[in-house]
Amino acid sequence: MADAADLARALTEILPSANAARPFRFLLEAGGEAVAGGAVLEKRGEEADAFCVAVTEVVWLLPPPARAEADDEPLGIPPATESRGPISACPMDRHKVKRQRLDRICEGIRPPIGNGPMPARPLVALLDGRDCTVEMPILKDVATVAFCDAQSTQEIHEKVLNEAVGALMYHTITLSRQDLEKFKALRVIVRIGSGYDNVDIKSAAELGKALGANRYWLTARMPVIARNPRGIAVCNIPSSSVEETADSTLCHILNLYRRVTWLHQAMREGNRASSMEQIREVAGGAVRIRGETLGIIGLGRVGQAVALRAKPFGFNVVFYDPYLPDGVERSLGLQRMATLQDLLMHSDCITLHCSLNEHNHHLINDFTIKQMRQGCFLVNTARGGLVDEKALAQALKEGRIRGAALDVHESEPFSFANGPLKDAPNVICTPHTAWYSEQASIESREDAAKEIRRAITGHIPDALRNCVNKEYLLLAAQWSSIDPATVHPELNGAAAYRFPPGVVGVAAPGLPEPPVEGIVTHGIPSVSHSAPHTPSPGESNKLEPDREISTDQ
């Protein structure tokens, strides 16, 4: 490949500088870094339009060559009188000669140009974040990654709504049916975390949008017609934060029993607790752990991790999860409760590790609180909607619940000033961070990017590892995958772009509009029957793609 400096110098020579009608920008890019002689070259071209020539890892924007005045005009060899000085009286002839000289420099390294416009990479958008540094190395060769940093779909740019094939998201944005209807090309959503109650997964499976029934384009190999795929696959990342969430849960449990937070506050307030009476007053409510009964609602990944951590402290661990197969309690050495009421009545501390859905909203309410032991502790690192905070605040004030530790809340971001817990005693609140560690954050983002990659290069939903609405998707008549043959390795994808409101990524003059990504239809995958999951303890069995939530993010 020709040296970048030679290419830049040759290009500079063919760009006339006198009497320019409009600015013309030249960008030489290789490996994600500008290498055009260490600078971006600014020149002015005499032509009103431009055309694009793609050269291995290099994109040039060139003014179109001048038309020959006669068919028999000689080409390829510059006249002997040519000099490298300023443009003389024959700028069009010099332009033509310099253009041909550049062609000779690039000979052998320019890829063949197929019929029709070159296919663009599929667009993948991070909806509610701005850091794509972890995702880019995994997706850069198969997709263009944009970030929106939005809190609602109203803040997402139209380009993303119209063209995004995949979406990555945290827990700070909600996608209802009305929100999902705004996306015209979306095929897969990956929740960076395990909880997916902020996505309407059933509507996603039903809302597959046509990618333009009459729009098609040609690749160098064959025409690809955009079909009407049905359904948007929704995936989660359930395993990356299991340890962090379980560790945080146990920290909250120990904190409630040993009252570390309140003892710290007393010290900050100047209470020295030097006498036995003062110690008894400050540390009142601290309880011995050995022999206490810990009740776990939902024995999924995190629930099991909490149980294994609690046993060495001396807890008697019981759990309620009616949809786990028989024998799980024996393999873990736990005691299984037949009903939710039994667990509430026999537990000294209750911790929640179940998913949030329409059936178990406010699972802990005034009625269930009255079934608990007097002076029970409550811990929630799952989902805020599982607990009625008004009922909890009243129970804390009345002493029916001795203390509570909440990492998740009904309204997030949480504020004591605006919530019902502002006057409640003996409550510890943290800002939905039980899932977080540097390692867990990176792992979850890597796993999410890999899931997007599997969706782009494979069959949906068969290629996906954690598709939570697969049962709904299999009801559709057709399934498709993004054809990897349509991905061109030269265009886009070398960096992450942000589309702020009112601004679209600037396209180069003369570049064709990126076409809609082609979809190749496939037959329906074989139906796999999984064990039923519980939407809510005590409720009838209904179709639910995933029962357990790792309470991360």
Least confident of 22-26, 120-124, 178-182, 466-470: 22-26
Q: In what order do the strands lie in the sheet with 401-406?
A: 335-336, 316-320, 293-297, 349-352, 376-380, 401-406, 427-429
Nearest to 257 by CA among 318, 335, 296, 314: 314
Q: Are 553 and 170 in contact (CB under 8 A)?
A: yes
* Better-scored residue on pLDDT, 286 or 546: 286
Give the H or E element holding residue 92.
helix 91-106
Q: Mean pLDDT, to the nearest integer, of 250-265? A: 96
Q: Mean pLDDT, to the nearest integer, of 456-464? A: 91
Q: Are 195 and 551 in contact (CB under 8 A)?
A: yes
SS3 call for 520: strand
**Would residue 496 be called left, alpha or beta, if left means φ above 0 and alpha means ψ between -120 and 50 degrees?**
beta
Q: Mean pLDDT, to the nearest integer, of 418-438? A: 94
pLDDT reported for residue 547 = 42
Q: Mean pLDDT, to the nearest integer, of 316-341? A: 95
pLDDT reported for residue 380 = 98
Q: Are 236 and 196 in contact (CB under 8 A)?
A: yes
pLDDT reported for residue 148 = 94
Distances (CA, A) of 496 to 408, 449, 543: 31, 14, 38
Q: Are 305 and 298 in contact (CB under 8 A)?
A: no
pLDDT reported for residue 389 = 97
Q: Mean pLDDT, to the nearest integer, of 363-387? A: 97
pLDDT reported for residue 248 = 98
* Better-scored residue on pLDDT, 489 or 469: 469
Local confidence band at 513 (pLDDT 50, 70, 90 cut-offs):
very low
| pTM reported for the whole predicted model | 0.64
Local confidence band at 488 (pLDDT 50, 70, 90 cut-offs):
very low
pLDDT reported for residue 358 = 86
Other CB atoms within a 10 A radius of the CB of residue 290 amount to: 8
Other CB atoms within a 10 A radius of the CB of residue 178 amount to: 10
- C-alpha 225/C-alpha 219 separation (Å) is 11
The mean pLDDT value of the chain amounts to 73
The residues that bridge with 377 in the sheet, in sequence order, are 349, 403
Give the H or E element holding residue 498.
strand 497-498
* Better-scored residue on pLDDT, 146 or 57: 146
Which residues does 424 contact at the CB level (< 8 Å), separation at least 6? 392, 393, 396, 397, 404
Q: Mean pLDDT, to the nearest integer, of 248-275? A: 93
Least confident of 182-191, 199-208, 282-291, 524-533: 524-533
DSSP state of 140: T
Phi, psi of 23 (to 5 degrees): -70, 150
**Position 495 pLDDT exceeds 50:** no
pLDDT reported for residue 343 = 98
DSSP result, 249-270 = HHHHHHHHHHTHHHHHHHHHTT
**Position 378 pLDDT exceeds 60:** yes
Which of 62-76, 90-104, 427-441, 536-550 shows the highest mean pLDDT? 427-441
Nearest to 453 by CA among 135, 147, 220: 135
pLDDT reported for residue 185 = 93
* Better-scored residue on pLDDT, 86 or 269: 269
pLDDT reported for residue 208 = 59
Local confidence band at 10 (pLDDT 50, 70, 90 cut-offs):
low
Q: What positions carry a catalytic annotation?
A: 383, 412, 432
How far is residue 445 CA from its own chain's centroid?
7
Helices (H), 399-495: 438-457, 470-473
pLDDT reported for residue 273 = 83
**Position 237 pLDDT exceeds 80:** yes
Q: In what order do the strands lie in the sheet with 144-147?
A: 233-236, 188-191, 164-169, 123-126, 144-147, 497-498
Helices (H), 417-546: 438-457, 470-473
Local confidence band at 275 (pLDDT 50, 70, 90 cut-offs):
confident
What is the greatest pairwise CA distance in the chain? 110
Q: Mean pLDDT, to the nearest integer, of 290-317? A: 97
